[in-house]
A and B are shown apart, each in its own frame.
Chain A
Amino acid sequence: MDRILDPVAAIGRAVIALLRGTGAIALFAAEAISHLVRPPFYGRLFLKAFIEIAWFSLPVVALTAVFTGMVLALQSYTGFARFNAEGAVANVVVLSITRELGPVLAGLMVAGRIGAAFAAEIGTMRVTDQIDALSTLSTNPMKYLVAPRLLAGTLALPLLVIVADTLGVMGGWLIGTQQLGFGSGAYLKATFDFLQVADVVSGLIKAAVFGFVIALMGCWSGYHSGGGAQGVGRATTSAVVASSILILALDYVLTAVLFSR
């Protein structure tokens, strides 16, 4: 009988652990958010995190967006040529970039850079007693370390996505005009005629959610790391993996909600 029940018990344990972990992360996020509306505010730390995310992630996000736009133009041209629908290339590029690829790829790039950096920095502070030191210096570590990073992540990623959207479309335009034989004006007209405000806004909403999730998972993993250098390494890996999976899962949820009509 035990043999039969063992797998069931294991599944039960995993579900309980998942629910417990989700609840703990939700409480962690709620506490951090509550500090955003209660003084003192650490504007300098917010600005530092914002620059770290928005400015220093710009090159990697920009390169990703340009090449994605270029590849998208090439691939959609090849596919549409089979149905004599090559004229839809500009429409497909702008729609795919603004609705999906801009926020998702920027999110994944930032998850690799910033999620790992936050987890490593806060994790190192944990294992070297710096977080305990904050408490003894009458400073709430959640307010000082977590709240400014969450706000910075939520506000910075939409800005990066605006850049990614622009450069992604330009990447498509470059290939369309230089390689596929579209006229520059016609390509851009097709792009802007087809684009709706809701396409861009939905991408920016996704970006804000992804930015929040990346910062949250980075801070959570670092804050709860332990076991010296190995623990910090584990926290860094877990921050990147968890935020990447959450970005992809939330992308589906948000798409289903935002485009349900």
Chain B
Amino acid sequence: MSQDTPKIRLKGLRKAFGPKQVLDGVDLDIRAGHSMVILGGSGSGKSVTLKCILGLIPPDEGLIEIDGRDVSRLSRAEREAVNDRIGMLFQNGALFDSLPVWENVCFKLLAQRRISRAKARDKAAEVLAQVGLASSVGDLSPAELSGGMQKRVGLARAIAAEPDIIFFDEPTTGLDPIMGAVIDGLIVDCVKRLGATAVSITHDMASARRIGDDAAMIHRGQIIWRGAAASLGETGNAMVDQFARGEREGPIQMELRK
């Protein structure tokens, strides 16, 4: 892999559900070791983009490369090997409610027999500490946790196997602003410590500026802008600036039935 090869490359990605064209030729390069934030309104295609990269939804057309290798049409076994290097924080945590927190955190390590159950408890305590949770939380069930704690456990599960790519799906949705900032801080720390490439999707501007190096905006299934996350709100692109400022008037018109 050459220095210039992006960690993740999307080229001409298209996906339709019935008559609805959700992705309409997404092109995006994500640099290794950088944190990319993909912005977009509801139904813009950002979640579908993420699911295509993760192999959860097969694209209709287009290329998805990770480290220069096309991963868009792999067998399930080959895909599992790719996912070994990937961590994912789901919007609602998606913790396994039949397992205690410590087993959730070390799920991948246990499932792949990379660690014994006895050692997994210690490892879970260590990773939970990295996201600011006491080791006693490990014995709780996910149902006993608050929303913020569930996000932290989800983050702990995403980083436990030390992946080199981490995806974050709406990491601050449903949290109060302070807890949102705490989660963002933890994300930045974890990604830096692992030296990982991060891809987040969000519509929370404060969160996007905090966790992103780069940002891209998706609208109607296409990337309409990309640039530095710090410039959000002053990009010169009328659509991105309207979205970043949360303005009602502008080129993006919500489809409301009158």
Chain B contacts with A in 47-94, Cβ cutoff 8 A: 51, 54-56, 76, 79-81, 83-84, 86-88, 90-92, 94
Once bound together, how far apart are the Cα atoms of A236 and B97, in whole Å? 19
Once bound together, how far apart are the Cα atoms of A128 and B88, in whole Å? 14
Once bound together, how far apart are the Cα atoms of A140 and B111, in whole Å? 10
Check B88–A133 contact: CB distance below 8 A.
yes
Q: Is B102 an interface residue (CB 8 A)?
A: no
Check A137–B54 contact: CB distance below 8 A.
no
Partner of B54, one of A128, A135, A139, A140: A135
Closest to A130 in B: B94
Contact with B along A125-144 (1 / 0, CB 8 A): 10011101101111110001
Check A135–B92 contact: CB distance below 8 A.
no
Q: Is A40 an interface residue (CB 8 A)?
A: yes
Once bound together, how far apart are the Cα atoms of A97 and B111, in whole Å? 43
Check B56–A139 contact: CB distance below 8 A.
no
Q: Give the A-B pair count, Cβ closer than 8 A.
A: 56
Check B94–A129 contact: CB distance below 8 A.
yes
Q: Is B108 an interface residue (CB 8 A)?
A: yes
Partner of B83, one of A129, A130, A135: A135
Q: How many residues of B contact A (CB 8 A)?
A: 28
Q: A130-B96, A132-B56 are in contact. Are A137 and B90 (CB under 8 A)?
A: no
Check A138–B83 contact: CB distance below 8 A.
yes
A138 to chain B, nearest CB (A): 5
A80 to chain B, nearest CB (A): 51
Which residues does chain A contribute within 8 Å of B56, judged by CB atoms? Answer: 132, 135-136
Closest to A144 in B: B111
Check B76–A137 contact: CB distance below 8 A.
no
Check A40–B92 contact: CB distance below 8 A.
no
Check B111–A136 contact: CB distance below 8 A.
no
A246 to chain B, nearest CB (A): 27
Check A140–B80 contact: CB distance below 8 A.
yes
Q: Is B107 an interface residue (CB 8 A)?
A: yes
Check B112–A138 contact: CB distance below 8 A.
yes
Check A139–B111 contact: CB distance below 8 A.
yes
Once bound together, how far apart are the Cα atoms of A121 and B99, in whole Å? 13
Check A136–B88 contact: CB distance below 8 A.
yes
Closest to A137 in B: B108
Check A136–B76 contact: CB distance below 8 A.
no
Which residues does chain A contribute within 8 Å of B119, judged by CB atoms? Answer: none
Once bound together, how far apart are the Cα atoms of A132 and B107, in whole Å? 14
Partner of B94, one of A132, A139, A144: A132
Q: Is B193 an interface residue (CB 8 A)?
A: no
Which residues does chain A contribute within 8 Å of B96, judged by CB atoms? Answer: 125, 130, 133
Check B80–A132 contact: CB distance below 8 A.
no
Q: Is B113 an interface residue (CB 8 A)?
A: yes
Check A137–B92 contact: CB distance below 8 A.
no
Once bound together, how far apart are the Cα atoms of A40 and B108, in whole Å? 13
Chain A residues within CB distance 8 Å of chain B: 40, 121, 125, 128-130, 132-133, 135-140, 144
Chain B residues within CB distance 8 Å of chain A: 51, 54-56, 76, 79-81, 83-84, 86-88, 90-92, 94-98, 107-108, 111-113, 157, 167
| 29 chain-A/chain-B pairs, Cβ below 8 angstroms | A40-B112, A40-B113, A121-B98, A128-B92, A128-B94, A129-B90, A130-B95, A130-B96, A132-B51, A132-B54, A132-B94, A133-B95, A135-B54, A135-B55, A135-B83, A136-B56, A136-B86, A136-B88, A136-B167, A137-B83, A137-B108, A137-B111, A137-B157, A138-B80, A138-B83, A138-B84, A138-B108, A139-B80, A140-B76
